[in-house]
Each structure stands twice: as structure tokens, then as C-alpha cells.
Chains A and B, each alone.
Chain A
Amino acid sequence: MPTLKAVLGLETSCDETAAALVDEGRIVRASVVSSQIDLHARYGGVVPEIASRAHLELIGPVVAEAFESAGSTLNAVDAVAACSGPGLAGALLVGVTAAKALALVAGVPYVGVNHLEAHLYGAWLQNPDLKLPVVMLLVSGGHTLLVAVDGRGKYRVLGETVDDAAGEAFDKVARLLGFGYPGGPEVDRHARIGSPTAVDFPRAMRGSLNFSFAGLKTAVALHLREHPEVLTSEFGVDDIAASFQAAAVDQLREKLAAAADMVNATTLVLGGGVAANSALRSSVVELAETTGRDALLAPLELCTDNAAMIAAAGWWRLQSDGPTPLSAGIDPSARLPGSTP
């Protein structure tokens, strides 16, 4: 394997269209996420919300923006990585097809990257010298996963959701409370005003490392049907938001704590969009302090879907497995590689 330095990463698995340039799997030279920059103003045209067509329209501008912001060009790229799953088929195809084409044009290797594994590499991006094993809690709109990381490519899935993802529960409760979308940050904001003990919502799946949020969501819906007056009373929605958030965070914390004990983890790692939640962050920090472990909380730009983690994971995958054949396709229902569910 010749020395590789610069990897271009593409991420199109769900809502975000993202491109990043990362050197040696750790130095982020550019990381562009479509929702975070005003591509509309810069490149014109209508930017649709979801669906693969949005990725088609955004992938070119996002890649161009990544090169421009890094002061680099395709000629300086040593490999191209793309997220090949899990995700929405049509959306994944856009990133993978573009990555293969760019790799062909540049005459460099292509590497397909698993989205969930890439989130773990978000942690290595922050701290390349992470002492193993660590446990990572990956909580987003689409995923709720508790993983023991024993090494690069060596993972054990300890728990996952049996129904709704954590972020989905936050968004749906936000809708029940009449907050805007995305609802997670709104729940967080209202919860700071409300009382977390106003309503004793259920803490699900006690004694298991799996998660469940559907029952909690339904409990909030039922509470609001029985007490519709809280929607209009002062602090009513704040109390519900705080009580819901307390139940959700308790569940996440309890399982993270049990998993950390089980694998004797050095570090608690928190990733995914819900890792931006302030109550969850302080709960994980406090858990780490009381159990003598380190806490590694992803900064916001690495919490949510991004391509820096794809480029980083791609760089490491190239070292361990070499390039992915251009004939390889996408895998919309991919699981975490090297793991036992």
C-alpha cells in the first residue's frame, strides 16, 4: 500500500449531503455539511428537503466547497471514501456513485464506509490516542446503539433500540407539545425551564442493555390526552418536556453505566445528533466523574452526520482492508462491521 495522505469523504446516507477532506485519518482540512452552509445563496437553485434528488443537486456544490475551503483540488486526493450503508438506497447511491467516479477520474482507490463505524471514528478524530476499550453511545434520529470498541474494526453491539430511536422520540414528543422541527433542541430548551419531576414517566427496559422509547412517547401522548390543559398552562409544556427528557436521559445513562462496568471501559464516548442534548451531556460527564472514567463528548459538528468521519474511517479501512472494488454496491440495511448483534 503506497503512502496515503488525503482522503475525500462523502456522506449522503440520510438528510445531509456532506463532503470532507481529512489527512491521515485525523487532520480535518475541510468538512462541509449542506444544511450548515448557505448553498442556496452561493449556488442558486431550489434545495429540496429530503429524498435522493436533494443529494443529486447538492453533491457537486458540497464537494466544490470542501476543495475550496481546504485550498485543495482533486489532484491532491489520495483516495475517495463514501458511506455505502446503512441508509436510504437512493440517497446512498448518489454518494457512492459520485465517489467511484471521482476515484476513477483521479486514478486513486475508492473505499466504501459503514455509516455506524464512521460515527465511532468520530471519536478517534477527536482523540487519536483513545485508550481501549471504550463504550460508545450513539444516539440520533435513526440510531440508538451501545457499542463496546475493543479496537479499530473490533466492535461489540451491546444494546440497541427495539422500537423508536432516541432522537425520534425527542422529535415526536416535540410535535405533541407543539414545538417546531427539529424538535430535539426545542425539548432541551423547554426542559431547562420545567421540572423534571413534574410527571413520573416510565423508565423502560430495566435490566437490559436494549432501549425502548415507543412506550415513553405513548406515555407522553396519553398524559396530554388526559391533561390537555397543560398545553396552555404556564410552564405546562416545559414540565412535560423536562419530565420526558429526564426519563429518556435516565434510560440512556443507566444502560451506558451498565455497559461501561461490563467491559471495564476507560472512556465513555457520546455521539450522534442527540449527543447535543445538554442534559444528556452533563449526565454522561457526571457518570464518568463518579466512576473514574474519561468522557469524550463529540463537538456538535461531529455529533450529527458529517463526512469527516467518513474520510477518517475510510483512511483506516484502506490500511486494514485495502480499496473497495468499484463493482461493490450499496447496503441500505448494513450492520456495524466486525460486530455481533
Chain B
Amino acid sequence: MELSLISGAPLTTQAVGQVLSEQAELGDVVILTGDLGAGKTEFVKGYALGLGISESVVSPTFTIVHEYFGREALNHVDAYRLESVQEYLDLGLEERMDSSVTVVEWGELVRSELSPNRLEVVIEFGVKDDARIITLRPMGDSWLDRLTALAPVLAVITPVEERE
């Protein structure tokens, strides 16, 4: 199953992120995929809000990892500049991932190293300038259950289409 929804503005993308993190569990991993300017960092801004993080979230492209502290700790990772899986492993994130939640932008490269229980979020450009198509793909039962439960909440923000 996957959910597909249309975001008409950056704030809607943030709101989707916020809804998804309200029920965050320790050890959660979210992978974000999308072209430059699609709104991955916007999504994380909302995701951080849902975790009760008041600090403003900025892009971690150059610094690779930002750590924020709210209701749970958030690792905001950007694999954009990483050139190998080894470089990701060298970050030493694994030891703290069980006691925090982790969002990885440009995570395709390191997918093999991430938990099989994860949420994959794909953000694509829509037809209009501000329109984005957000696809949520749960991997593993925990995310499947949560996404099923959250679908009606997401539908309050924007129409949600469920696909097999």
C-alpha cells in the first residue's frame, strides 16, 4: 500500500511532515527522495515541529548531520554530498539511532544500511509551480499500521489517494 497526496504549498508539505511525526517512535527512519527544490527540507521542518522542536531547521547539506532535541531527539541527515556507503557508516549514527528518530534526505544511496522498517517519502514536482506530489510508502508493519491510522488525518489537509 502507498498513499499519494498533493501539496499545493510549502506549508502543506510541512503539515504532512508534522502529522507523520506526531506518532514518532524511537528508532524511526524516514527516507526522503526528490529533486532539488522539491521541498524535502520543508517536510523536515514540519517533522521537527511535530516532535516539539522549536529550533528552526536548516538544510544539513554541508554539515551532513544536524541533531535537534524535542520530545524525541531528531537526526536530520543529508546524504547529498556522500559518495559512498562507507562515508555514511563513518558518521557513526547507528549507535544513537535506536534512541532517536532519523530523517535522511537523498537517502537512496544508503538505503541498504537503513532499517527495513522505515517510511519512504517521495516528493515530485506537480504541474503548477507550487504543486508537489507526495508519495508515502510504508516499509514494515509498524509504518503500515501507523500510516493507515493517519490517512484520515492527512486527508484533512489535502486529498489522499490510496494505492495498492
A residues near B (Cβ < 8 Å) are 14, 48-53, 86-90, 140-142, 161-165, 167-168, 171-172, 175-176, 214, 217-218, 220-222, 225, 332-333
Contact = CB atoms under 8 A, between A and B. Distances in A.
A168 B66 CA distance: 15
A164 B40 CA distance: 12
Contacts of A161: 58
Interface in B54-110: 56, 58-59, 61-67, 81-83, 86-87, 90-92
Contacts of B81: 50
Given A14-B62, A90-B90, A141-B62, A163 B67 contact: no
Contact of B37 (A88, A168, A217): A217
B35 interface: yes
B125 interface: yes
Contacts of A14: 62-63
A214 B67 contact: no
B62 A90 contact: no
B65 to A, nearest CB: 6
Contacts of A49: 83, 87
Nearest to A141: B62
Given A51-B87, A214-B41, A221-B36, A164 B61 contact: yes
A74 B125 CA distance: 57
Contact of B36 (A86, A165, A217): A217
Interface string B38-57: 01011000000000000010
Given A221-B35, A221-B37, A222-B129, A51 B90 contact: yes
B83 A50 contact: yes
Contacts of B61: 141, 164-165, 168, 171-172
A333 B66 contact: yes
A149 B35 CA distance: 39
Nearest to A273: B62
A177 B66 CA distance: 28
Given A142-B63, A164-B59, A333-B67, A53 B36 contact: no
Given A14-B63, A90-B91, A221-B37, 9 more contacts: A48-B86, A51-B91, A88-B91, A163-B58, A165-B61, A167-B62, A214-B59, A221-B125, A222-B37
8 contacts: A14-B63, A48-B87, A49-B87, A142-B63, A164-B59, A165-B59, A218-B36, A333-B66
Given A221-B35, A221-B37, A164 B64 contact: no
Contacts of B37: 214, 217-218, 220-222
